[in-house]
Each structure stands twice: as structure tokens, then as C-alpha cells.
Amino acid sequence: MTSRILDPQQLRLNLDEDQLEAIAWLMDHLPLSFRNVHCLPARELLSWSIDDLSSASGVTSQAIQRLESGFQLKEVSLQALAFALEAEGLVFFPGHPPLRGMNCRGSTKDPRSRRDYHLLE
């Protein structure tokens, strides 16, 4: 078997503006993989307290406690938690415990650009 180096120019896609807009919209509307069952195990992987996660994410300690007790939070709050935890190298898949990403990064976008960011719990 021979090793072949790929030419990056061969991988370049020529997309028009509409296609780029459609891709951007899809990326903005990907469903979150982060679930309430991920929160406590993720904090334990990082040796973080609830206050540590609150400080990193902007979500209140009380909201994090509610989430870990099984209550749902607003999507913007879940996104802020996922973003903070993914920034520390964790990745989330539904039905699986949090994992260390090694050389990959989660896909959660920074929630501060959301119009409803002021509704963070």
C-alpha cells in the first residue's frame, strides 16, 4: 500500500453565496448533543465544582443544580454549558458519557452571539 499526499487544492469546493449561506444556516441550527445527563460526569472529568462551571459558562449555579436534578433549561443555557465544557476538550454524544476529545473539538457555537443570550439562566 502506498501513501499518497492529498493536494489541498483538490479538496477546495467552489460554492456560491447561496450554498455558503445554506451551510452557515445548517451549522447554526445543529441540535445540541449535550444533555442534562452529561453535566455531572463532565464536571467530574474536569474536577470542576458547580461554581467553576457557572463561572466558565455564565449559567447560574442554581440552574446547573436544577439541570443535574433532571430539570430542563433553556436551549441558550444548555448551549452555554456545552460551549464551556467543549472549550476544555470534552465532546458529547447522545447516549454516551462525556469523552475527552483528544484532537477534535465539539461543534457547539459560542452562545454569546444569540439574540436570546440575555435569557441565560
Residue 34 has, within 13 A of its CA and on its CB side, a CA count of 28
Q: What is the pLDDT of residue 52?
A: 97
> pLDDT tens digit string along 76-86?
999 999 999 99
Q: What is the pLDDT of residue 3?
A: 55
Alpha helices in the chain (DSSP H): 8-11, 17-28, 36-46, 50-57, 61-68, 75-86
Q: What is the pLDDT of residue 109?
A: 77
Residue 3 lies in a domain: no
> pLDDT tens digit string along 2-12?
556 656 566 66
**CATH number (domain holding residue 97):** 1.10.260
C-alpha grid cell, residue 94: 447522545
Query: What pTM was computed for the model?
Result: 0.72
Higher pLDDT, 1 or 34: 34
C-alpha grid cell, residue 16: 456560491
The mean-pLDDT minimum among 5-9, 75-79, 86-90, 116-120 falls in 5-9
Whether 46 contacts 90, CB under 8 Å: yes
Whether 40 contacts 68, CB under 8 Å: yes
> pLDDT tens digit string along 32-60?
788 899 999 999 999 999 999 999 999 99
Residue 24 lies in a domain: no
Residue 17 lies in a domain: no
Residue 77 lies in a domain: yes
Q: Which domain holds residue 95?
A: 36-119
Residue 8 lies in a domain: no
Residue 4 lies in a domain: no
